């Protein structure tokens, strides 16, 4: 009898130890168009990326989104900070050669998904599973994709019914939402990657196609390169960081009441057309004004005490031209201000126009730069000028970064042609 009591006591102690070692998970459910966490409506505000999560949290974020790499560190850090994680599993793309009709290949991917779910399903930071990202992109025939998402969702539900499953699509056209709903009924959350003014009517377009569950904008940005104006030689025209911030402010205000979440792209830095197009940080780690907007709109604790990024007032090439003879120099000018009245430093850089333009976010190489082309820098009161010379015929971009010396910056660039 004593032995039985001792065994029961040890078992009880083991349960208490487990409860202490593994904090209780939140109760995550879906009701109508809302995500509920412990019975309360939850807005999935945040960004995609896995670094500097404390700064993300300070800007009012509630979630971080990953894409498919195993991320025990991000789960642990998010838990400490009180952030939730939409944990991604990368469903491979047919456009990259993956064959979903090859059962051996598909089974191997499902086995990896099974292992991932079993490994991380008890994480207290876990909000939902993100199954794939734009798997349907760049396909003439996407019919093989939807059953594959359905199979993945069915497997995850069988292993972890406690967390909702989300599919992430590239925009909402082409009847793809109806295809998803038919082939993947175990998907609880719909994630749509959308950019620019397409964001303004995105919720209405999604609802018109019959989706009645929670909608999360899983990537959003001020403007995609496919939406931007284009120079005659094909170079897309990028907005300044100041113009991006103004657009993002409007989009976040519009989307907040109409969606279950808004996730900016990208909480980090990457080369995509340029090194700055979709980056919320510079390679130096400095933040741009979009990070200020996040705190402002979401009411993050950083809103009233953060160092604010500089603003670009104007950026022009000589005489408003964009094509210059190789035989003569030309000038560029930028005007800027800092809302905190920090002293600004202008950094100029000439890079070749990128020729390695990927699709659907594929990795790109950074084009070469030409430091010797930047000459005769002049600083004024809120105005900076530079002379550009010595370039061979070809397509280039002139970049300027305004540094405030306190971790924030403003960026802009202008494509130009040397003939």
Which bin fits 250, alpha (ψ -120 to 50), beta or left (φ > 0)? alpha
Strand-by-strand arrangement of the 40-42 sheet:
28-31, 34-37, 40-42
pLDDT, tens digit (0-9, with 9 covering 90-100), for 296-325: 999 988 888 889 999 999 999 999 999 999
Q: pLDDT > 90: what percent of the chain?
A: 87
pLDDT, tens digit (0-9, with 9 covering 90-100), for 258-311: 999 999 999 999 999 999 999 999 999 999 999 999 999 999 888 888 899 999
Q: Is the pLDDT of residue 20 over 50?
A: no
* CA–CA separation, 320 and 34 (whole Å): 49
Reported pTM: 0.92
Closest listed residue to residue 34, CA positions, set 217, 218, 262, 213: 213
SS (H, E, C) 242-268: HHHHHHHHHHHHHHHHHCCEEEECCCC
Range 11-31 burial, b when 16+ CB lie within 10 A, else e: eeeeeeeeeeeeeeebebbbe
Structural domain boundaries of the chain?
26-304, 311-418
CATH of 311-418 among 3.40.50.720, 3.40.980.10, 2.60.40.10, 3.20.20.70 = 2.60.40.10
Residue 21's pLDDT band (cuts 50, 70, 90):
very low
Q: State the pLDDT at residue 7.
A: 37
Q: Is the pLDDT of residue 19 over 90?
A: no
Averaged pLDDT for residues 195-213: 97
CATH of 26-304 among 3.20.20.80, 3.40.190.10, 3.10.20.30, 3.40.50.300 = 3.20.20.80
Least confident of 120-134, 214-228, 355-369, 399-413: 355-369
Residue 13's pLDDT band (cuts 50, 70, 90):
very low
């Amino acid at each position: 009898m004593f032995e039985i009591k001792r065994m029961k006591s040890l078992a009880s102690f083991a349960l208490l130890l487990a409860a202490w070692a593994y904090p209780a998970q939140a109760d995550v459910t879906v009701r109508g168009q809302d995500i509920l966490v412990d019975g309360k409506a939850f807005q999935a505000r945040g960004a995609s990326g896995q670094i500097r999560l404390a700064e993300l949290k300070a800007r009012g974020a509630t979630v971080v989104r990953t894409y498919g790499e195993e991320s025990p560190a991000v789960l642990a850090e998010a838990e400490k900070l009180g952030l939730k994680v939409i944990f991604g599993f990368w469903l491979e793309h047919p456009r990259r050669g993956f064959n979903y009709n090859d059962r051996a290949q598909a089974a191997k991917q499902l086995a990896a998904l099974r292992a991932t779910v079993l490994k991380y399903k008890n994480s207290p930071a876990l909000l939902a599973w993100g199954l794939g990202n734009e798997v349907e992109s760049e396909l003439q025939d996407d019919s093989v994709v939807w059953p594959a998402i359905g199979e993945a969702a069915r497997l995850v539900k069988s292993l972890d019914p406690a967390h909702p499953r989300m599919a992430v699509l590239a925009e909402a056209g082409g009847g793809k939402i109806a295809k998803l709903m038919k082939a993947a009924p175990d998907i609880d959350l719909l994630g749509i990657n959308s950019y620019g003014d397409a964001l303004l009517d995105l919720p209405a377009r999604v609802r018109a196609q019959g989706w009645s569950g929670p909608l999360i904008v899983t990537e959003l940005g001020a403007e995609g390169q496919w939406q931007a104006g284009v120079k005659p030689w094909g170079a897309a025209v990028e907005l300044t960081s100041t113009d991006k911030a103004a657009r993002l402010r409007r989009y976040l205000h519009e989307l907040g009441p109409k969606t279950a979440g808004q996730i900016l792209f990208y909480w980090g830095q990457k080369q995509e057309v340029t090194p700055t197009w979709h980056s919320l940080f510079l390679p130096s780690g400095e933040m741009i004004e979009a990070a200020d907007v996040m705190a402002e709109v979401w009411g993050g604790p950083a809103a009233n005490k953060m160092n604010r990024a500089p603003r670009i007032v104007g950026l022009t090439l000589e005489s408003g031209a964009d094509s210059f003879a190789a035989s003569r120099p030309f000038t560029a000018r930028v005007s800027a201000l800092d809302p905190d009245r920090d002293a600004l430093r202008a950094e100029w850089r000439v890079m070749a126009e990128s020729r390695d333009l990927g699709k659907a976010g594929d990795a790109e190489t950074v084009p070469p730069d030409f430091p010797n082309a930047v000459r005769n820098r002049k600083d004024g009161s809120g105005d900076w000028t530079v002379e550009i010379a010595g370039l061979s015929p070809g397509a280039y971009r002139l970049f300027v970064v305004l540094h405030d010396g306190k971790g924030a910056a403003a960026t802009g660039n202008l494509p130009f042609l040397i003939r």
